């Protein structure tokens, strides 16, 4: 069924919904069959192997983010770059609240690198690979000595 009110007055159509952000997600899910017919049950709109447009409700706000995932091997080292950027928007009793930027980018070489985030606050993180478990040939527990 075509939501005629959405095309006649989109602002009013969203305002009368009890959950406008949820209504937007439902609308984007319905349009996904046009934007990405082969997506199956995956969330978002996979536009290419490396690019997906994702949308979800976070804290009552609609978050619409494009995710780019690039991988390569350079001189035998695994290089991974992830960039996500978009907007978060919501409605208040007074109307539409100001949109907020959503940005998250990371770059690693063999698991070591940096990550920059702009939502909810600006953060810069050092990324390290998970520690490797060392195997030990000695028995577990404290060493004991027997008197002679």
Residue 137 lies in a domain: no
pTM of the model: 0.69
Residue 147 lies in a domain: no
Residue 87 lies in a domain: yes
Location of structure tokens 């577990």: 140
Q: What's the pLDDT at 95?
A: 65
Paired tokens of 139: 């028995």
Residue 44 lies in a domain: yes
The span from the CA of 137 to the CA of 3, in Å, is: 69
Residue 138 lies in a domain: no
Decide: helix, strand or coil at residue 13. Answer: helix
Total tally of structural domains belonging to the chain: 1
The span from the CA of 70 to the CA of 78, in Å, is: 11
**By the 8 A CB rule, do 115 and 127 touch?**
yes
Residue 136 lies in a domain: no
Angle at 26 between CA 24 and CA 28, to 5 degrees: 70
Q: What's the pLDDT at 148?
A: 46
DSSP lists the bridge partners of residue 102 as 86
Q: Please list the pLDDT of the chain residue by residue as tens digits (148 residues).
A: 456 666 677 666 666 677 777 777 888 887 887 777 777 777 788 888 899 999 998 888 889 999 999 999 999 999 999 999 999 988 665 666 788 889 999 999 999 999 999 977 899 999 998 888 776 555 554 454 444 4
Between the CA of residue 147 and those of 96, 138, 139, 144, what are the distances in Å? Answer: 80, 20, 20, 10
Residue 141 lies in a domain: no
Residue 61: domain span? 4-127
Residue 12 lies in a domain: yes
């Amino acid at each position: 069924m075509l939501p005629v009110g959405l095309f006649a007055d989109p602002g009013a159509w969203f305002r009368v919904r009890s959950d406008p952000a949820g209504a937007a997600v439902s609308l984007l899910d319905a349009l996904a069959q046009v934007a990405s017919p082969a997506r199956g049950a995956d969330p978002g709109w996979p536009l290419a192997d490396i690019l997906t447009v994702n949308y979800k409700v976070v804290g009552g706000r609609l978050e619409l983010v494009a995710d780019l995932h690039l991988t390569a091997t350079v001189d035998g080292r695994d290089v991974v770059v992830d960039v996500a950027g978009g907007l978060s928007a919501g409605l208040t009793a007074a109307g539409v609240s100001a949109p907020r930027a959503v940005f998250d980018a990371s770059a690693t070489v063999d698991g070591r690198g940096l990550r920059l985030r702009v939502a909810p606050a600006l953060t810069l993180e050092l990324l390290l690979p998970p520690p490797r478990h060392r195997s030990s040939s000695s028995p577990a527990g404290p060493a004991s000595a027997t008197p002679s």
